[in-house]
Amino acid sequence: MYQLVLTTCPDEIVAQKIAQQLVTEKLAACVNIIPNITSVYYWQDELQCDSEVQLLIKTDEKTFAALNERINQLHPYDVVEVIALNIQQGDKHYLNWITNSLK
C-alpha cells in the first residue's frame, strides 16, 4: 500500500533538510514542500498560532516505521506530527515510480 505522509516543520531550512534526507536515504520517493501554512493548536495549555511549512511525503507502508523514526531524529519539535494516509488509487506509472524510487 502506498502512503502520503504529512508532517509540518518550523521553517523552510528544516523542511529542506528533512526532505533531502528522506529522499537520499530512499525512505521517500518524493517530498513536496508547501510554505506559509498557519497551524492553530494548544501546546502546554496555551493557544498557539504559528507559521509552518507542510511536507507531503510519498512512500509505502513497508517504509513507514523507518521513515517515522528518521523524521523524529531530524526534527526539532518535542512532539512531531507524522500522519500516514493510505493512497487508495493512483496512476500506475506514478505508483511504479514510487516503488522503484524506494529501492
For residue 92, the 8-state DSSP code is: H
> Which structural domain range is residue 36 located in?
2-101
Burial grade of 7 (CB within 10 A; 0-12, 13-18, 19 or more): buried
pLDDT (average), residues 1-9: 98
Please tell me the predicted confidence (pLDDT) of residue 67.
Answer: 98
pLDDT (average), residues 83-103: 96
CATH code where residue 92 lies: 3.30.70.120
The count of structural domains within the chain is: 1
Average pLDDT, the chain: 97
Confidence of residue 75 (pLDDT cuts 50, 70, 90): very high
pTM: 0.94
Confidence of residue 30 (pLDDT cuts 50, 70, 90): very high
Please answer whether residues 60 and 98 qualify as being in contact, where contact means their C-beta atoms are separated by less than 8 angstroms.
Answer: yes
Show the cell assigned to 19: 526532505
Please tell me the predicted confidence (pLDDT) of residue 46.
Answer: 96
Residues written for the chain: 103
Please tell me the predicted confidence (pLDDT) of residue 15.
Answer: 98
Q: What angle separates helix 12-24 from helix 64-74, to the nearest 10 degrees? A: 140
